[in-house]
Amino acid sequence: MAGTFLVILACLFWGMDTLIRYPLVERGIHPITIVFYEHIVLVAIFSLGVIGSLKRIGELKIADVFSFLIVGGLGSAVATVAFTEAFQTLNPTLVILLQKFQPVVAILLSSLILKEEIQKPFIFWAMFCLIGGLLISSPDIVRFYHLLKSDLSLVTSDQALKGYGLVGISILGWGSSTVFGKRLTTVGFDTKSIMAGRFLCGLVALMPFVKWDQSLILPEGEDYLRILIMVLISGAIAMWFYYQGLKRLSAKTTAIAEMFFPFFAVMVNWFFLGKQLTDLQLLGGVILILGSLVIQLKKF
């Protein structure tokens, strides 16, 4: 139970991230600029982890280097950029809905790469949790339905197809990040070293996407403080809890626990922004909690 609780706790802190991140974006700061500053701060925070791991560099296997590149380069950088760009080429409602299938990718990769056994009862309860996750996003499903009725071309155009590809990259990146992060824990890397390698590889991978111009200068001095607070909440603290949980869980079980992120995101919006939850969203939360509890108790 401890591992699941730690991942769920990480999801709670990720949910709180929206209180700062989206206001920054709405004020005109490019998401990639925000992510870039996040990685700079996180690399600085965990630089001691990099220094402490230098003695292991000569011991690194190709598979270890590849795992760090997936977790940091693909998962922390490229997937985030792809997800951001998807909002500019595809209807945001559809982007959010498609992202709900990330656990499916993580579960399949856990079987293919880590050889985790996927039992039939687990598949049933995983689908049960997925239904809960979709119910949490029921307002988005309703908006998507009306979108289809009003203008089908918005989901079938060449621009939309590009958006599907970008969402696919983000789903693959974040799903594989769970699996390869788990692999790093199984070969002896501690949480501090994994996080240091993740954010360093992520920062390097972000370099080609950053616009090296005036857009890097934030509008207000307070914005740097806001990003620092956000980094501490959703980067340092949340990721620490996440990797502590990942050490104790299988990748497939972690993927299910990660589904609590959208639930906590809407809960945070309810408590702090007054965006009340619907009955279907509350039902989705109950289903997700029940399904996750069964998976944990049965130790699939």
| Range 49-73 average pLDDT | 77
The HSE-up count of residue 180 (CA atoms within 13 Å, CB side) is 24
**Which of 204-208, 215-219, 229-233, 242-246 shows the lowest mean pLDDT across its residues?**
215-219
* Residue 89 clears pLDDT 60, i.e. is over it: yes
- Cβ atoms within 10 A of the Cβ of 192, count? 16
State the residue for tokens 């589904």.
259
**What is the reported pTM?**
0.86
How far out from the chain centre does Cα 198 lie?
Answer: 13
> At 300, is the pLDDT very low, low, confident or very high (cuts 50, 70, 90)?
low
Res 201: pLDDT: 92
> Can you tell me the distance from the alpha carbon of 235 to that of 204, in angstroms, rounded to the nearest whole number?
17
> Can you tell me the distance from the alpha carbon of 124 to that of 128, in angstroms, rounded to the nearest whole number?
6
For 148-181, the pLDDT digits (tens) are: 777 766 667 777 788 889 889 999 999 999 999 9
Residues 292, 40 contacting (CB under 8 angstroms): no
* Residue 54 clears pLDDT 60, i.e. is over it: no
**Cβ within 8 Å of residue 124, ≥6 positions away:** none
**Which of 18-27, 175-184, 227-236 shows the lowest mean pLDDT across its residues?**
18-27
> Can you tell me the distance from the alpha carbon of 137 to that of 134, in angstroms, rounded to the nearest whole number?
5
The domain ranges of the chain are: 2-298
**Cβ within 8 Å of residue 262, ≥6 positions away:** 100, 133, 136, 137
Q: In one letter, which amino acid is 300?
A: F
* Residue 188 clears pLDDT 70, i.e. is over it: yes
Res 154: pLDDT: 66
What integer best gives the mean pLDDT of the chain?
Answer: 85
Query: To which H or E segment does residue 4 belong?
Result: helix 2-16
* Residue 241 clears pLDDT 60, i.e. is over it: yes
- The candidate with the shortest Cα–Cα distance to 253, out of 202, 291, 208, 196, is 291
Res 251: pLDDT: 92
Q: Is 58 exposed, middle or buried (0-12, 13-18, 19+ CB in 10 A)?
A: exposed
> Can you tell me the distance from the alpha carbon of 292 to that of 285, in angstroms, rounded to the nearest whole number?
11
